[in-house]
Chain A
């Protein structure tokens, strides 16, 4: 069976058969979810309830029933991967959440379902997950016709991670029909060709301001996969606490809030592996030298002095030994090619006010600003020596752009217009403008997030290539396990579509028509999967629903 599908381009197989027309987010149509007297979906609705919107798709008018005993058939050299098999099982339990025990299609003895098999073809058996890993896939759901006995759903992808994205899309096409008690795919036949617009689609999670339990981190990773995000930026450590075990410097996690609020090395491996099974990279961060006070709880020498504790002591070689030790330990855990070195909000007063640091500066004839640059560049060298590409917050670029290592990825946050400057100088950039993509800012409504464009102000095609993507950030000052998910969702999904879907599809003039109903639908889908996503339409994020009503309208 595998030999049949040896070609590597997933488009090759079916594009030759079907002509694809790009359907830019179909407009208009009445809502399909209202319960009218017929209790049926209104087929005239042309809105496609997929999130994020695939790059190319066509659909028809058929309704197909899906066998509750849906089986998996794999092909291609990567088809037998455990990543595919486990994902199929996860999605099976999502798709068949309601009991189909009383399916009316089963009442007449032999059940008759239109689709009994999901075929997944994966061309490559390379399971390495990295920036730029091929996430494209094609998905076809077609009714049986004269040429075949049963209808089939087919996902074809180059990598297992593309197959995961296809499974997510397939699960979103499936809807439980309460009348027949079966799962249906409406508007078939579906032909979908999909790939992400940006290779970096991130979410930052801060476990220093508040500890997030492992189970909660896993829930977040799982929900990220529903929105096709692919990088968990783990802001592990900051001033407030140091929750991660670092074997080389075992006193570091004395900076944790309590002995219970810590992660072992094995816990970190577990998170990375859990994420990988869902096609999500984990980018670790140590935010130096400015956000590192908690390091000194275990090693007070890292502070300029016990009374002036931040930034890390630039004059002490031990500081860089510790940075190097942390990176050595982390390199074993985090296979992702990017590593975040922070570098933001560095207030160098302590360097000036602490005698031994001041002396060190004078001996080298350095200003504090030069010392900041020295620190960042030296940390970059350590990261590069460990085969990591350094990511730094934009202040490093703003302060000494041309001296940064050319490999540096500049992480924007302060405001608009930074990525255009960074890519003009040849640096790569990640877009996280706090005015639109900081999720802890509760006064940014969904459309503020949705309409933010990472390529704003960048015309040149080769410069556009340098924007790796973007990231929404959920800083933890006022977020803990009790409210993190509803602060992330649904707004992170708005950014996820911006980062995944075609720019033309997401830049329509009337997103209230083209995006809002779909986002409301996706938010309800999240809650139906157990993710506590907040109402979409409230002005303040994370606020309770304004009154009784349907999920689809709130």
Chain B
């Protein structure tokens, strides 16, 4: 729900040659982001049904001639914290009538176009696109700057069209960060030019992404106002790195975590982040750091010797690894995100530029912000999508600021993220496992707290409509009734299931 909404009781129709007007806008659209957004707007509203050819029977005064978009900033850099606010007016009168969309940035304008698309309905009598309840005045901005979705391309490879479809659907729900968990223990699908054998750790020759593919994904996402957060999950989730470079393993029989004693390990991390910095322009990089079982460091003679020589115990070595990886990331100009175990173990040692990514459970964000660090909320009991028994209602009600009262501390919670881990997810079931539950979280992250429903039952109808809208746009969003990814229980209307 937008921040503020008012509407009337008239109807207007989109004219056959509904147009984009940008007179007076300071933004020149050199990369055609606005043009692309407008053309996608027409695509989604026309996808549902065939529009009539003949508009001559319409009174000109009921036709919307186009949308006039004013963007105040000429800058089209997409970055964390970019102004995403917009103001959308659909007046009843004018000569001719134009909708007005104002935004500080192109990315606010894209959100405005998404909202506009949701006001458009096919009228089965006139065979035209109708906007009900004109005049509209909508003033809108997100509650949190970070509204993320994690996808995991290591447990299962996701083909490029699948990733693009996920990005498209994220834009419909106004999510703005695709957290790309690229690599994990099971496979290393991405090309790293500095260390060209790393992607030997892919599942197969064709389950891989070239650097050009990754750049394509980043650019595709940017066109839709979505940042891409890349992750390498070190040192604990990285067995696949050693397929190409076995010396990254403590030993052939004990392959994880990465060999902390080997300088080559950090050279590889540096090489990866150096390659990353050329394509992943988001301010943050995710360095993982979760679930580190250090027993291989103890069991392997040369790492054990190294620990002894440096007077480190295993947990100190874990800290040493994470902090050294952080320094490498900082040297490439990134700020760092780490999973919460790093904070839980040595929070006061972490770089002050660290954002702590919660996942284990509730109550972490309050400790993180009390320590003065920033936090992203993803508590697994509510926001892990592969847990099919977590209902959309639970997704909706999960409040990132629970128990955080101090406004300064509240400001340190930069947002939240729903996670689509890939153990049981491939190209065949990713969309219906993500949607509609991710949309419930998306409203929690976008909508002003006072506008959020206190009881999820108040949302059911609207969310069901959004789910059917996703279906209409070709996204395989699952029924609301029942657990995640459930098949419809029986014949019936999309709007009631």
Interface set of A (CB-CB < 8 Å, partner B): 33-35, 37, 39-41, 97-99, 101-102, 175-176, 178, 181, 208-211, 213-216, 219, 240-241, 245, 257-264, 266-267, 269-270, 476-483, 485-486, 524, 527-530, 532-535, 542, 544-552, 554
**Measured CA separation A245–B125 after assembly (Å):** 11
Contact A214 B47 (CB under 8 A): yes
Known: A98-B210, A528-B159, A548-B155. A482 touches B425 (CB 8 A): no
Known: A260-B468, A535-B426, A550-B157. A483 touches B432 (CB 8 A): yes
**Measured CA separation A262–B495 after assembly (Å):** 13
Contact B204 A33 (CB under 8 A): yes
Contact A181 B487 (CB under 8 A): no
Contact B191 A551 (CB under 8 A): no
**A262 proximity list for chain B (CB < 8 A):** 124
Contact B186 A548 (CB under 8 A): yes
**Measured CA separation A179–B474 after assembly (Å):** 34
Contact B428 A527 (CB under 8 A): yes
Interface set of B (CB-CB < 8 Å, partner A): 47-50, 52, 121-122, 124, 127, 154-157, 159-162, 165, 186-187, 191, 199-200, 202-208, 210-213, 215-216, 422-432, 468, 471-474, 476-479, 485, 487-495, 497
Contact A98 B160 (CB under 8 A): yes
**A530 proximity list for chain B (CB < 8 A):** 159, 161-162, 165
**Measured CA separation A258–B50 after assembly (Å):** 18
Contact A532 B476 (CB under 8 A): yes
Closest chain A CB from B132 CB (angstroms): 13
Q: Total A-B residue pairs with C-beta atoms closer than 8 Å?
A: 209
Closest chain B CB from A517 CB (angstroms): 12
Closest chain A CB from B480 CB (angstroms): 11
Closest to B491 in A: A209
Known: A98-B210, A102-B210, A267-B50. A534 touches B428 (CB 8 A): yes
**Measured CA separation A306–B170 after assembly (Å):** 46
Closest chain A CB from B151 CB (angstroms): 14
Ordered by A's residue number, 9 sampled pairs between the chains whose C-beta atoms are within 8 Å are A178-B206, A215-B47, A215-B474, A240-B491, A241-B491, A257-B494, A260-B468, A486-B428, A551-B203
**B203 proximity list for chain A (CB < 8 A):** 35, 549-552
Closest chain A CB from B400 CB (angstroms): 28
Known: A264-B124, A480-B479, A481-B476. A544 touches B494 (CB 8 A): no
Known: A99-B213, A181-B212. A258 touches B155 (CB 8 A): no
Closest 7 CB pairs between A and B? Answer: A527-B427, A530-B161, A257-B493, A550-B203, A481-B471, A266-B50, A209-B491
Closest chain A CB from B10 CB (angstroms): 20
**Measured CA separation A544–B433 after assembly (Å):** 10
**B206 proximity list for chain A (CB < 8 A):** 33, 175-176, 178, 524, 528
Contact A264 B127 (CB under 8 A): yes
**Main SS of the interface on chain B?**
loop
**A480 proximity list for chain B (CB < 8 A):** 471, 479, 487-488, 494, 497
Closest chain B CB from A179 CB (angstroms): 9
Closest chain B CB from A39 CB (angstroms): 6
Contact A210 B488 (CB under 8 A): yes
Known: A527-B427, A532-B431. A478 touches B205 (CB 8 A): no
| Extra 8 A-B pairs, beta carbons < 8 Å, given A175-B206, A547-B423 | A33-B206, A97-B160, A99-B215, A178-B191, A215-B473, A266-B49, A482-B477, A529-B161
Contact B127 A266 (CB under 8 A): yes
Closest to B50 in A: A266
Contact A533 B427 (CB under 8 A): yes
**A257 proximity list for chain B (CB < 8 A):** 492-495
Contact A99 B216 (CB under 8 A): yes
Name the one of A211, A213, A532 contacting B429, with C-beta atoms under 8 angstroms.
A532
Closest to B386 in A: A544
Contact A476 B427 (CB under 8 A): no
**A176 proximity list for chain B (CB < 8 A):** 206
Known: A97-B160, A98-B210, A215-B473. A552 touches B491 (CB 8 A): no
Known: A214-B48, A266-B127, A550-B207. A482 touches B479 (CB 8 A): yes
Name the one of A101, A478, A482 contacting B471, with C-beta atoms under 8 angstroms.
A482
Closest chain B CB from A212 CB (angstroms): 8
Closest chain B CB from A335 CB (angstroms): 18
Known: A98-B212, A486-B428, A547-B424. A35 touches B202 (CB 8 A): yes
Closest to A263 in B: B49
Closest chain B CB from A268 CB (angstroms): 9
Contact A211 B494 (CB under 8 A): yes
Contact A545 B424 (CB under 8 A): yes
Contact B474 A548 (CB under 8 A): no
**B154 proximity list for chain A (CB < 8 A):** 548
**Measured CA separation A264–B122 after assembly (Å):** 11
**A211 proximity list for chain B (CB < 8 A):** 493-494
**Measured CA separation A420–B490 after assembly (Å):** 35
